[in-house]
């Protein structure tokens, strides 16, 4: 496409290496129609991507050319001419540049000077680029709020999802973040949307290191940076009918000196009480008796500290190295009041009451070194990782029997692991339309767990040890030309492990050595080049080994696990996934079919009528998932509504049992800027009941609303959020012998937060040197 060539050429040949350049830069170009005829008098406007945009206008001369002087900055270029569709692009004016010919398309419905106020979205074969700079709705909100208004993105259980899929990796200015899940959301809340140029939402082909080929990639480009430092300090307070009142400080520090930059993000959570009033009921069938146990749980956290920091160095505009580290210390205390009712032949034969307490201390550390480089023949990603976790737990139970006797139960558990891993990927540029993608990663786990269960006749101690090493490599081929974008390949996965359990001087073990080829493919066809509408087909096969390491030796390592070759039922589970994604009109559609054979944990009785946990690789799960993102409603440039819905049909079978179920989820988000620059955000998510083979879940959803405003020249932010979560009821029933039911109260929570930004050092602003990859011509959504 000519437009694609235009923008890629702007990025590749129009950039000067120095960012300290002063004065105006010269930008020249030519405007023609599809036949190559010059369009004399066409209007060209350059709008700077600043908080207060500066407009520069120029008119095409009699020779069909224009020339304009611009300061170094990012710009939105808009070309209009009577009878032709408006033409828009983003130009990074980092040096003198001569633009390739700008080709205008005829359109009887478009007139020169027409202003379109819809959110600017640039679609491409991998996804889209959302240019959020200078958007009035996002002027006073965090990046999290802005991203929730983008196509396909929404928060699910406190984590971002894209079209119902996971977020596999996140990059800020080509630096990979170590955050995932709710930690990622917390970090993005520290970024102001007004300081962001664009957010890219791309499929997994944008990150060769991703093993989850259905996941999505986020790439965030900041508007500019400053030498010197800045810090955001603040505090929040929340109260609810379930949580204790809690006040929490916040701090985010950043410092830049030349090519060096660092950040520090401590997260301190004071003492808190959670899940107050959660009720759990368990029915146990033992011999000829039925025991019904009810627990009212309280979970208390002592002060918890997460400390995350990072250091990066920009070798040049195409190469950077970064170091991220994170550490956590946490103590928690969980208590439960218990009541046991014993039944025999449907008659209650006794009742006992008791107390269960659990104390845990958790220490955790993670470190990551990343490298990103653009070489003449390849683009490289590399990383080295180290992680350590220690979990020290103590459980005690004091049960008062009907005759007044005390039955004391105690278990001590110490578990910890070390993890080392390294990975490297390279995207080789074979030819203009062809690339070869290679990646390799190695991982080494060292896990140890110690159990001690004091009994009447002595302590029953276990040691559960295993080391695991794995190699994951992939080879892919990519073809991108015209209306096709093809990425196909296969992963090679090899995993070796030998778990050992030691009890009373006797050891039991088995070995696992698994090698698998896991094919994948992402094929995109651009069926409407005019509006860049695509049809994308994805396929991936994956294997799950988690069932082989998740066994608790205190109750699972019985005779069936004690022989050297292991239990043949413990074969790895596998999953086949096929997804289809497209846009129809203003609707975003994604459907997926998943076929899984997994291990199920069931409860059986041994020869002595005692309950035994068993694992069997016989749970067959199939489901169809559909995501629909509706066209955004834009009532004005300061008020929008975004909404979506999902549908899931599932069939599960185990042995002779079958269950077919479905679930519908709908959600919306409304965002507006009120008079006085007060931001208003309201959202809701509603669910139908969910069922599976062994469980039923009744959870309606939640609603929330928030108000926020910036004061003191955009230095002080004050926000108020109120949310209501509906009650939850769930029941889990395993084969024949057991079921659990749980009840969580509905919760109303109010949170008041305030933050203030400090700055120090050299305030000389620079345009960000990190460029957005694969920019296409911008279209109006």
Rounded CA-CA distance 76/53 in Å is 10
Check whether 33 has a pLDDT greater than 70: yes
What are the two backbone dihedrals, phi and then psi, of residue 12, each rounded to the nearest 5 degrees? Answer: -85, -35
What token pair was written down for 158?
């406190």
Q: What number is the average pLDDT over the span 299-321?
A: 81
pLDDT at 646: 95
Pairing of strands 512-528, 228-240: unpaired
pLDDT at 16: 31
The secondary structure of residue 96, as a DSSP letter, is: -
What token pair was written down for 423?
């990975």
Helices then strands, each counted (H, E), the chain: 3, 50
Confidence of residue 417 (pLDDT cuts 50, 70, 90): confident
Output the CA angle 225-11-213, nearest 5 degrees: 85
pLDDT at 758: 87
pLDDT per residue over 211-230, tens digit each? 899 999 999 988 765 668 88
CA dihedral 481, 771, 175, 629 (to 10 degrees): -60
pLDDT at 686: 92
pLDDT at 738: 63
Check whether 773 has a pLDDT greater than 90: no
Confidence of residue 760 (pLDDT cuts 50, 70, 90): confident
Q: What number is the average pLDDT over the span 22-49?
A: 80
Check whether 683 has a pLDDT greater than 80: yes
Confidence of residue 436 (pLDDT cuts 50, 70, 90): very high
Confidence of residue 604 (pLDDT cuts 50, 70, 90): low
Check whether 771 has a pLDDT greater than 50: no
Q: What does the DSSP assignment read for 265-326?
A: EEEEE--EEEEEEEEEEEEEEETTEEEEEEEEEEEEE--EEEEEEEEEEEEETTEEEEEEEE
Mean pLDDT of the chain: 78
pLDDT at 732: 74
Q: What number is the average pLDDT over the span 21-30?
A: 73
Closest CA to 557 of 466, 495, 655: 466
Check whether 736 has a pLDDT greater than 70: no
pLDDT at 586: 82
Picking from 66-80, 274-288, 559-573, 724-738, which range would have the lowest pLDDT averaged per residue?
559-573
Phi/psi class of residue 635: alpha, beta or left (left: φ > 0; alpha: ψ in -120 to 50)?
alpha
Helix, strand or coil for residue 143? helix
pLDDT per residue over 528-585, tens digit each? 877 778 999 999 998 876 555 444 444 444 434 433 344 555 567 789 999 999 998 8
776 neighbors 8 (Cβ within 8 angstroms): no
- For the chain, the residue count is 781
Rounded CA-CA distance 122/532 in Å is 9
Output the CA angle 635-198-307, nearest 5 degrees: 115
Rounded CA-CA distance 657/735 in Å is 10
The secondary structure of residue 571, as a DSSP letter, is: P
pLDDT at 491: 93
Picking from 37-41, 285-289, 335-339, 431-435, which range would have the lowest pLDDT averaged per residue?
285-289
Ordered structural domains, the chain, with CATH? 2-116 (2.60.130.10), 127-228 (2.170.130.10)
Check whether 735 has a pLDDT greater than 60: no
pLDDT at 718: 92
What token pair was written down for 475?
């080879």
135 neighbors 183 (Cβ within 8 angstroms): no
pLDDT at 3: 43
Give the global pTM.
Answer: 0.75
pLDDT per residue over 355-390, tens digit each? 778 888 889 998 989 898 888 888 898 999 999 999
What token pair was written down for 238?
């929340």
Rounded CA-CA distance 36/38 in Å is 6
pLDDT at 492: 93
The end-to-end CA distance of the chain, in Å, is 20
Q: How many CB atoms lie within 10 A of CB 391?
A: 16
Q: What number is the average pLDDT over the span 44-48?
A: 87
Rounded CA-CA distance 683/725 in Å is 12
Q: Which is more confidently placed, 696 or 655? A: 696
Check whether 240 has a pLDDT greater than 80: yes
What token pair was written down for 764?
């000389």
* CA 9 remoteness from chain centre: 32
Check whether 260 has a pLDDT greater than 70: yes
422 neighbors 442 (Cβ within 8 angstroms): yes
Q: Which is more confidently placed, 718 or 615? A: 718
Q: What number is the average pLDDT over the span 455-473?
A: 74
Closest CA to 17 of 72, 76, 99: 72
* CA 321 remoteness from chain centre: 23
pLDDT at 83: 66
Half-sphere exposure of 627 (CA within 13 A, CB side): 21
Question: Percent of the chain, pLDDT > 70?
Answer: 79
pLDDT per residue over 311-327, tens digit each? 888 887 778 888 888 88
pLDDT at 621: 87
Picking from 97-101, 467-471, 598-602, 738-742, which range would have the lowest pLDDT averaged per residue?
598-602
Pairing of strands 533-544, 406-429: unpaired
Check whether 770 has a pLDDT greater than 50: no
pLDDT at 153: 92
**Residue 225, strand partner residues:** 766
In angstroms and rounded to an integer, the radius of gyration of the C-alpha atoms of the chain is: 29
pLDDT at 703: 94
Check whether 11 has a pLDDT greater than 50: no
Rounded CA-CA distance 455/411 in Å is 10
Confidence of residue 299 (pLDDT cuts 50, 70, 90): confident
pLDDT at 316: 79
pLDDT at 119: 42
Q: Which helix (H) or strand (E) holds 4?
A: helix 2-13
473 neighbors 441 (Cβ within 8 angstroms): yes
pLDDT at 404: 56
Confidence of residue 8 (pLDDT cuts 50, 70, 90): very low
Q: According to the per-residue pLDDT averaged within each range, which of 463-467, 550-554, 686-690 is highest?
A: 686-690
Token look-up 């596999």 returns 168
* CA 776 remoteness from chain centre: 25
30 neighbors 38 (Cβ within 8 angstroms): yes
Q: What does the DSSP assignment read for 479-519?
A: EEETTEEEEEEEEEEEEEE--EEEETTEEEE--EEEEEEEE
Using CA atoms, how far residue 341 sits from 289, 490, 605, 621, 776, in Å, is 10, 55, 21, 36, 67
452 neighbors 471 (Cβ within 8 angstroms): no
778 neighbors 88 (Cβ within 8 angstroms): yes
């Amino acid at each position: 496409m000519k437009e694609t060539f235009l923008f890629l050429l702007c990025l590749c040949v129009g950039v000067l290496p120095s960012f300290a350049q002063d004065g105006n830069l010269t930008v020249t170009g030519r405007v023609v129609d599809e036949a190559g005829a010059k369009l004399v008098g066409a209007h060209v406007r350059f709008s700077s991507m600043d908080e207060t945009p500066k407009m520069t206008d120029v008119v095409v001369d009699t020779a069909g050319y224009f020339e304009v002087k611009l300061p170094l900055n990012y710009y939105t270029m808009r070309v209009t001419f009577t009878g032709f569709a408006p033409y828009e692009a983003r130009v990074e004016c980092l040096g003198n540049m001569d633009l390739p010919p700008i080709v205008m398309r005829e359109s009887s419905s478009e007139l020169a000077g027409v202003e379109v106020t819809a959110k600017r979205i640039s679609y491409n074969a991998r996804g889209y680029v959302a240019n959020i700079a200078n958007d009035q709705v996002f002027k006073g909100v965090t990046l999290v709020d802005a991203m929730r208004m983008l196509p396909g993105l929404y928060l699910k259980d406190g984590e971002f999802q894209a079209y119902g899929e996971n977020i596999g990796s996140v990059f800020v200015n080509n630096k990979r973040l170590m955050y995932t899940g709710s930690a990622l959301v917390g970090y993005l809340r520290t970024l102001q949307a007004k300081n962001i140029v664009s957010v890219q939402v791309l499929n997994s082909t944008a990150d060769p290191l991703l093993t989850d080929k259905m996941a999505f990639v986020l790439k965030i480009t900041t508007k500019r940076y400053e030498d010197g430092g800045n810090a955001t300090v603040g505090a929040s307070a929340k109260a609810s009918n379930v949580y204790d009142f809690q006040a929490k400080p916040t701090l985010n520090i950043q410092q830049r000196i030349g090519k060096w930059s660092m950040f520090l993000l401590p997260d301190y959570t004071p003492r808190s009480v959670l899940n107050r009033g959660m009720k759990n009921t368990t029915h146990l069938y033992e011999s000829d008796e039925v025991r019904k146990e009810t627990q009212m749980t309280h979970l208390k956290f002592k002060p918890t500290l997460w400390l995350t920091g990072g250091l990066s160095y920009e070798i040049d505009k195409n190469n950077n190295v970064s170091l991220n580290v994170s550490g956590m210390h946490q103590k928690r205390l969980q208590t439960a009041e218990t009541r046991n009712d014993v039944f025999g032949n449907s008659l209650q034969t006794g009742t006992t009451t008791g107390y269960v307490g659990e104390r845990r201390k958790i220490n955790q550390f993670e470190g990551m070194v990343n490298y990103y480089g653009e070489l003449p023949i390849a683009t490289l990603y590399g990383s080295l990782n180290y992680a350590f976790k220690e979990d020290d737990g103590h459980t005690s139970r004091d049960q008062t029997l009907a005759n007044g006797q005390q039955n004391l139960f105690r278990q001590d558990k110490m578990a910890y692991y070390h993890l080392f891993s390294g990975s490297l990927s390279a995207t080789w540029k074979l030819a203009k339309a062809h690339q070869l993608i290679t990646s390799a990663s190695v991982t080494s786990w060292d896990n140890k767990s110690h159990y001690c269960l004091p009994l009447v006749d002595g302590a029953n101690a276990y040691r559960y040890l295993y080391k695991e090493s794995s190699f994951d490599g992939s080879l892919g081929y990519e073809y991108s030309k015209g209306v096709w974008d093809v990425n196909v390949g296969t992963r090679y996965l090899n995993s070796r492990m030998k778990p050992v359990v030691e009890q009373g001087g006797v050891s039991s073990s088995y070995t696992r050595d698994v090698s698998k080829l896991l094919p994948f493919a992402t094929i995109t066809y651009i069926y409407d080049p005019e509006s860049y509408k695509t049809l994308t087909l994805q396929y991936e096969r994956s294997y799950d080994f988690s069932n082989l390491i998740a066994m608790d030796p205190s109750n699972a390592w019985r005779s069936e696990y004690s022989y050297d070759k292991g239990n043949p039922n413990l074969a790895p589970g596998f999953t086949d996934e096929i997804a289809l994604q497209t846009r129809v009109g203003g609707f975003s559609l994604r459907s997926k079919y998943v076929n899984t054979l997994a291990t199920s944990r069931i409860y059986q009785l041994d020869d002595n009528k005692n309950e035994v946990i068993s694992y069997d690789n016989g749970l067959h799960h199939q489901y169809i998932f559909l995501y629909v993102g509706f066209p955004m409603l834009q009532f004005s440039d300061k008020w929008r509504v975004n909404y979506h819905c999902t549908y899931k049909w599932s069939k599960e079978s185990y042995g002779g049992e079958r269950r077919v179920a479905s679930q519908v989820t709908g959600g919306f988000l409304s965002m507006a800027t009120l008079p006085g620059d007060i931001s208003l955000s309201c959202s809701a998510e509603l669910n139908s009941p969910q069922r599976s083979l062994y469980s039923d879940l009744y959870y309606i959803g939640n609603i929330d609303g928030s108000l926020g405003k910036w004061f003191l020249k955009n230095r002080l932010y004050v926000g108020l959020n109120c949310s209501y979560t509906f009650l939850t009821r769930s029941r889990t029933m395993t084969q024949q012998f057991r079921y659990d039911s749980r009840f969580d109260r509905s919760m109303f929570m109010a949170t008041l937060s305030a933050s203030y930004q400090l700055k120090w050092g050299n305030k000389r602003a620079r345009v960000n040197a990190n460029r957005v990859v694969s920019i296409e011509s911008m279209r109006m959504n």
